[in-house]
A and B are shown apart, each in its own frame.
Chain A
Amino acid sequence: MRKFTTKFIVFVFTFTFFASVGVNAQNTVDLTVSPPTQEVNLNPGDEKQIQVKFYNRTDENISGSIKKADFLVLDKEGSPTLFDTSSTNNRHAASSWITLSEEKVVIGAKNQAIVNAFIKVPKDAYACGHYTSIYFQPTPVTLGGKELERQSAASIAFKLASLIYINVNGECKEKAYVSNMKVPAFQEYGPISVNFDILNRSDYHISPKAVLSMSNFLKKDIDLKPLPENNIFPDAIRSYEIEIGNKWMFGPYTLQVQGGYGKTGQTLFRTITVWVIPWRIIVVALLFIIIIWLVVKSLFKATIQKETHLEQELEKEMNEIKKLKEQLKKRE
């Protein structure tokens, strides 16, 4: 009887305690993933363990799923797009090679979850670049603290991903092109805004080390700008927009992209010519010179005419004086 009473009191107390603790929706969800990207080099048949850490920066626990997804880069700015289900023709997929140490985690407040990912590269794996990710997605029920109430609402969730680049050693094609190089054919002033793409047709991602240089008609280098060292996904394009040169330029300028990429020293090369002529200033200067010339000419002409007129009048006067002198001599 006494034991039963004790158990009953404990039960009632526990129930009352948990029932009284309200579960509030979090007002801040704040998570860090480390590293955001990592790269590993493996041979077919190799196994390797890597880690991804998710750190909960809030004062509340957060539970969620750890998942893997392949990704592609579909835009020209390197933004990854995750695919939970990879298409069968994605030769760069690698999510099926990965086994996660856990698929559900509760990350304590101000604490971290370390996820171990075991990579096992198949012996017949297609060599070169493979790209996958490991992400954390909060569990909707716990993320909101409770199920959505019976009301119209949007629940908010997120996937915070760590990208993994796996380079499988083997023979890989390396090919990349500079394409769509565009500049205005003619500009009044510098600097010149140069737009171009680098298309990566290699079997793995490349990070070209290249420069954009500018030379004048005397073949003298005027300016040189290094390109940002961006990764370019296989069969993807990366866009570049670079300003080069000064405001005051004159004549034809040759713009040249040159650099290297890949493991076998492949090169990138493309040139384009642009004319820069500050025509408005030139026209104003020419007009100014013409006006000055006309004014000078007019003044000169007026002075000469006046002098001629005076000379003529003087000559006339002298003739009259001469005549008067002769008349005077005759009277005498």
Chain B
Amino acid sequence: MRNIRKIALIIFIFTQTGVFFLSHPFVVDSGNITSATDTLSNPRLSFFGRNDGALSIGSTNIVVKTTTSIPDHNTGNLFPKDTISVGIQGNLTVASLSAGTTTDFSITTGMLVPVADNQPIYSTQSATHTLAFTNSSAVANGAIRILIPAGDSTSASNDGAPDGGTTAGFDFNGITAANITCPTGGGVSAWETATATASSTFGSNLHAFECRYRGTLSASQALTMTIGDSSKKLVNPAPKTSHTQGKADTYNVKIQLLSTPYYTPVDDVIITVSPVDGVLVSATVVPALTFQIQGIANTTGHCGKIPGTDMIVTTTATTVPFGEINSTASFYDASQSITASTNSPSGYTIKVAQDDELSMNASDYIANTTCDSTTCTHDTSDQSKKGLWDTTSTYGFGYSLENSTSTLDFSYSDTDSGCTSGGATHFCAHQFACNNSTNCVATNTEQRVARSTAPSANQVFYVCYRLNVGPTQKAGYYQTRIMYYAAGNF
């Protein structure tokens, strides 16, 4: 009897063992998946904050709550032009982040609905996952399965809203088989339609994406599977509770090669993906107006004057040294260049005046020219008040302008109004306005010589100074100061 029991027990154990091994046969050549990567089309973490204080209709300034249990408790992960939702209102655009705080930002348009305090602020960052890998084993009629971490196994992981904090993970975002691209090739007869299973259905904190195939997948095949497409993607996680800004959060993605008939893993590998905060690169272009004066050597001619012959004075940025006037009744010409730039929308204006006539003392001075016509004045706003100054029997001190890239109020080669018979070989001139009531024989306000009405870069023009001293001019040193006024337009 005892023997019978022993034999029965042996037969039972043998039968059970046999059934077990027959139903779970060993797979030949099993191993790890190699060369595995998961490339995210957008690695930025999603933003998940909450508003501090109720928002009324029309509000454009939003303050983020600083409670540390909220995944985003400052604006460090928010950027201008991000699309956000606040409470029930979506499609808002971040205009700017407050420079002075880490909690305030503004939106481009006002709120259309009132929003209560502590409502979620989402800025969703979505990405396609492109998984590339090489299998080790040859498996017949199997499947490739990708497991991507979800925040939890509830429907909250499939609502399209970023999941962060204690339930940080990729949101399934209602993705379907149509959004999955299965591998191709690999020696199989055919790849079947993919399946996509949210964590709430899969039963753990993982979203599953599976591509089954018919035929035998050869060993060592380089395969690529893509989750998400242009119409639908997984939503990147919001920061984890322990997140440090600037440091990536890590998530483990599992790639498996499954065998039939129970789709158990043959090959597998765990790889890490690391969504990270974006980096805001910003620069402030300050409004500015630049003014430059340069001296010009007498080896360079301007205003139609021949270097060395007509243009005999070398200037610096700060002086026009006519020097000793040995020859009366002949022109002493000199020039300077002036350059202006501004990014001001209204442009700039450059005016000029002298603070005295070219004077030796209170009573002895070289008068400002009245040009050949004897009618030219300082007034650059009146084109009839300019005049040709070509004859050496006309004495005095005056100036003209030559345009390069600027907009001038008159030019040496003008042929209109006061300079009708002028041209490139003539010298259409004005007096300098004299604006110092203590020194000047007649006082006038400074006169505009160049301008722009819009932002402009490096606009250049030349000022040509001309001195012609009459034979009866009293000997001595004659000096004046020419003052340029550079300002943005009103």
Binding site for B on A (CB under 8 A): 25-37, 53, 55, 57, 71, 73-75, 77-82, 133, 135, 138, 140, 143-145, 148-163, 205, 228-231, 233
Q: Which residues of A contact B490 (CB under 8 A)?
A: 37, 73, 78-80, 163, 205, 231, 233
Decide: B295 and A28 in contact? CB cutoff 8 A.
yes
Given A82, A150, A154, which contacts B480 in the complex, CB threshold below 8 Å? Answer: A154
Can you identify 9 A-B contacts, CB atoms within 8 angstroms?
A25-B317, A26-B316, A32-B289, A79-B448, A143-B318, A153-B320, A153-B323, A154-B354, A162-B488
Decide yes or no whether B286 CB sits under 8 A from chain A: yes
Query: DSSP majority for the A interface?
Result: strand
CA distance A229 to B291 in the complex (A): 25
**What is the minimal beta-carbon distance from A226 to any residue of chain B, in angstroms?**
14
In the complex, are the beta carbons of A152 and B485 less than 8 A apart? no
Contact of B327 with A by CB under 8 A: no
Residue among A33, A53, A152 with max Cβ neighbours from chain B (10 Å): A152
Tell me the chain B residues, 304-330 only, with Cβ under 8 Å from chain A.
Answer: 315-325
CB distance B322 to A82 under 8 Å? no
Contact A155 B487 (CB under 8 A): no
Q: Would B324 and A152 count as touching, CB distance under 8 A? A: yes
Is the CB–CB distance between B344 and A37 below 8 Å?
yes
For the A-B complex with A156-B317, A156-B481 known, give 11 more contacts whose Cβ atoms are closer than 8 Å.
Answer: A30-B292, A35-B288, A144-B316, A151-B322, A152-B322, A152-B478, A154-B320, A156-B293, A157-B318, A157-B483, A160-B289
Which residue from chain B places its CB closest to the CB of A85 in the assembled complex? B437
Instruction: Assess whether B346 is in contact with A78, with CB atoms less than 8 Å apart.
Output: yes
Interface residue? B348 (CB, 8 A): yes
| A75 lies within 8 A of B448 (CB) | yes
A57 to B293, CA, bound (A): 12
User: A28 to B293, Cβ gap below 8 A?
Assistant: yes
**B351 contacts partner chain A, Cβ-Cβ < 8 Å:** yes
Contacting pair B292 A28 (CB below 8 A): yes
- Using A28-B295, A144-B319 as known contacts, say yes or no to A82 and B485 having CB atoms under 8 A apart: yes
Known: A75-B448, A152-B358. A37 touches B287 (CB 8 A): yes
- Determine the chain A residues whose CB is within 8 A of the CB of B477 once the complex forms: 150-152
Q: How many residues does chain B have at the interface if contact means C-beta atoms less than 8 Å apart?
A: 54
Interchain CA distance A153-B489 in the complex, whole Å: 31
Smallest distance from the beta carbon of B116 to chain A beta carbons, Å? 32
* Cβ–Cβ < 8 Å partners of A156 in chain B: 293, 315, 317-320, 336, 481-482, 484
Chain B residues whose C-beta falls within 8 Å of the C-beta of A53 in the assembled complex:
286
Which A residues touch B478, using CB under 8 A? 152
Tell me whether A34 and B287 are in contact (CB under 8 A).
yes
Other-chain contact of B488, A26, A57, A163 (Cβ < 8 Å): A163
CB <8 Å contact, B287 and A36: yes
- Interchain CB contact under 8 A, A159 and B479: no
Q: In the bound complex, do residue B485 and residue A158 qualify as a contact, i.e. CB atoms below 8 Å apart? A: yes
Q: Which residues of A contact B277 (CB under 8 A)?
A: none
Which 4 interchain pairs have the tightest Cβ spacing? A36-B488, A25-B316, A36-B289, A79-B349
Complex Cα spacing A74 to B323, Å: 37
- Contact flags B463-490 to A (C-beta < 8 A → 1, else 0): 0010100000000011111111111111
Q: B256 at the A/B interface (Cβ < 8 Å)?
A: no
Smallest CB gap from A233: residue in B: B490
Give chain A nearest CB distance to B267 CB in angstroms. 63
**A27, A36, A75, A228: which contacts B317 (Cβ < 8 A)?**
A27
In angstroms, Cα B291 to Cα A273, docked, is 44
Question: What CA separation (Å) do A80 and B470 show in the bound complex?
Answer: 37
Smallest Cβ distance from B184 to chain A, in angstroms? 56
Q: How far is the CB of B339 from chain A (nearest CB, A)?
A: 8
In the complex the two chains form, what is the Cα distance from A229 to B325 in whole Å?
51
Tell yes or no: B342 within 8 A of A by CB. Answer: yes
Q: B479, A36: Cβ atoms under 8 Å?
A: no
Q: Within 8 Å CB of A73, what residues of B?
A: 490
Do the beta carbons of A154 and B292 come within 8 Å of each other?
A: no
Please give, as numbers and ranges, the residues of chain B lying within 8 Å of A151 by CB-CB distance: 321-324, 477
In whole angstroms, how far apart are the Cα atoms of A157 and B489 in the complex?
20
A11 to B39, CA, bound (A): 72
Whether B318 lies near A144 (C-beta < 8 A) is yes
Q: Inside 8 A of B451's CB, which chain A residues have their CB?
A: 77, 79
Query: A151 vs B334: C-alpha distance in the bound complex, in angstroms?
Result: 15
In the assembled complex, B446 has its CB within 8 A of some CB on chain A? yes
**Interface residue B445 (Cβ < 8 Å from any Cβ of A):** yes
A144 CA to B358 CA, complexed, in Å: 18
On whether A36 and B487 interact (CB within 8 A), knowing A57-B290, A78-B346, A79-B351, the answer reads yes
Determine whether the beta carbon of B381 is less than 8 Å from that of A37.
Answer: no
Given A80-B489, A156-B317, A158-B291, CB of A140 within 8 Å of CB of B346: no
Is B294's beta carbon under 8 Å from chain A? yes
Chain A residues, Cβ within 8 Å of B299: none
Give the residue among B342, B346, B481 with the most A Cβ atoms within 10 A.
B346
Cβ of B201 within 8 Å of any chain A Cβ, yes or no, is no
**A74–B485 CB distance below 8 A:** no
Let me know if B286 and A34 touch, CB within 8 A.
yes
Q: Which residues of A have CB within 8 Å of B320?
A: 153-156
Instruction: Provide the residues of chain B in CB contact with A34, threshold 8 Å.
Output: 286-289
Q: Is the Cβ of B358 less than 8 Å from the Cβ of A154? A: yes
Do B291 and A35 have beta carbons less than 8 Å apart? no
**B252 interface hit (Cβ, 8 Å):** no
B487 CB → nearest A CB, Å = 4
The docked-state distance in angstroms from the alpha carbon of A33 to that of B289 is 5
**Is the Cβ of A80 less than 8 Å from the Cβ of B487?**
yes
| B317 engages A28 (CB within 8 Å) | yes
Contact of A154 among B319, B381, B488 (CB under 8 A): B319
B67 at the interface (CB under 8 A from A): no
State A74–B488 Cα separation when bound (angstroms). Answer: 15
Contact of A153 among B291, B322, B344, B445 (CB under 8 A): B322
Contacts of B321 in A (CB 8 A): 148-149, 151, 153
Residues in B neighbouring A135, C-beta threshold 8 A: 487
Interface members, chain B 415-455 (any A CB < 8 Å): 445-446, 448, 451, 453
Q: A37-B346, A80-B489, A163-B487 are in contact. Are A154 and B317 (CB under 8 A)?
A: no
Q: How far, in whole Å, are A81 and B351 apart by their CA atoms in the complex?
A: 9
Q: A30, A36, A154 — which one has the most chain B CB atoms within 10 A of its CB?
A: A154
Complex CA–CA separation, A29 to B339 (angstroms): 10
- Report B-chain residues with C-beta under 8 Å of the C-beta of A162: 289, 487-488
Q: Enumerate chain A residues within 8 angstroms of B349, measured Cβ to Cβ.
A: 77-80
A33 to chain B, nearest CB (A): 5
Question: Which residues on the B side are within 8 Å of A155 (C-beta)?
Answer: 318-320, 479-482
Contact partners of A150 in chain B: CB under 8 A = 477
- Asked if residues A32 and B290 are in contact (CB atoms below 8 Å), the reply is yes
With A26-B317, A79-B349, A158-B484 as known contacts, state yes or no: A152 contacts B479, CB within 8 Å. yes
Contacts of B287 in A (CB 8 A): 34-37
Assuming the A-B contacts A30-B292, A156-B317, are A35 and B489 also in contact, with contact meaning beta carbons closer than 8 angstroms in the complex? no
